[in-house]
Amino acid sequence: MQKTVLKNYAKLLARVGLNVQKGQEVIITAEADDQPEFVAFCAEECYRAGASKVRVEWTSQKISRLGALYRSEEVMSEVQPWQEEKLRCEIRNLPARLYLESEDPDGMSGIDAEKYARALQARQKVIKPYRDKMENKYQWCIAAVPGRNWAKKVFPKESAAGAEEKLWRAILSASRSLEGNPIANWQAHNRDLESRCAYLNSLGLRTLEYKSSNGTDLRVGLMREGVFAGGGERTLSGVFFNPNIPSEEVFTSPRRGEAEGIVYSTKPLSYQGQLIRNFSVRFEAGRVTEVHASQGEAVLKKIVGMDEGAAYLGECALVPYRSPIRESRVLFYNTLFDENAACHLALGRGFTNCVRGYENMSDEQLRLLGVNDSMVHVDFMIGNDDLEITGISAEGARVPVFRNGNWAF
């Protein structure tokens, strides 16, 4: 891939994704084996945007897998004092965070899923209170670069180099960064998402009703104070940023405890390096009561059981079937992309900033309104070419939101 194109992509992530502020610190998290030159491009663009310091935290899925195979559950569950001090430092400094995804979708296969889930549970109990203190206070962006194994998974018939090049093109195209001016492309895209949110927020919807020929038949309650959001967000201090590149969704946090029916997945879910395929989730009184999957059912059950809130919905996201990502006909095996090719739901944590006036409310007040809380937030795709979504207002008016898988307005 041409360096000029990659540098424009790095600029997009620094200027539009993170919107780095003058004097702000930046942390970039990336796989040590994947695209180190591009990581350097991102660091340089963050400095050019005004960053005072850029730190790269290198990760390794291979080493993580070895740790999951050989470490004891007790050791895997530990959060060291220095790690807590690092989190306290981040609370004080509020660095912008760029996450570059490139992991192998099957990279954690063969591990003890139950041990891994219990260890993650234990760590999250310690880490979550720190993360809660930073919520809505800093900019973050999740984007992607090709990993060699990931590329071969997506394009198995290509050589390693050919697969990597094809995945670069797919990532950049989906991110509106392959043609034209990426920053201008995103500004126009944000305006479109903003206008759709404004229309939905004018309707006073209290329920979303999902129906599809694959068996999906679900009703989800919405909060009276809830709002639809999409594209860019603002921190509590007013800094605008784009947390996901790419993003095609308009989303809201549903009201906890108000979901009835069954929903079927339409794309595989890659979770912590493990694939879950062809699954269904049934809800009663808002809570997951039954799950089935042709592959990865045990992993899905572990997700739902991570904590009390993991069995409730935290997000309803609307994505047209004719999204650029689906029309690329590439199955990415990566939630960042695949969730933007189809309508999706998320189990677990809801978004506090999907409540009108959230900045003046306590966490307790937001939970009472119906924002779900959990240590996890796991998106799964439910959209297809005949999905119908109908909004129902407080007065009982039925408004078409999606017809034949696409926007009805």
Whole-model pTM: value is 0.84
Exposure letters 97-126 (e unless 16+ CB within 10 A, then b): bbbbbbbbbebbeebebebbbbbbbbbbee
pLDDT, tens digit only, all 409 positions of the chain: 999 999 999 999 999 999 999 999 999 999 999 999 999 999 999 999 999 999 999 999 999 999 999 999 999 999 999 999 999 999 999 999 999 999 999 999 899 988 998 999 899 999 999 998 998 999 999 999 999 999 999 999 999 999 999 999 999 999 999 999 999 999 999 999 999 999 999 999 999 999 999 999 999 999 999 999 998 999 999 999 999 999 999 999 999 999 999 999 999 998 887 889 999 999 999 999 999 999 999 999 999 999 999 999 999 999 999 999 998 999 899 989 988 998 999 999 999 999 999 999 998 999 999 999 999 999 999 999 999 999 999 999 999 999 999 999 9
Domain limits, the chain: 3-174, 183-407
CA-closest candidate to residue 215, choices 266, 164, 171: 266
By the 8 A CB rule, do 20 and 95 touch?
no
| Three-state helix/strand/coil letters over 290-329 | EEEEEECHHHHHHHHCCCHHHHEEEEEEECCCCCHHHHCC
Class (C level, CATH) for 3-174: alpha beta
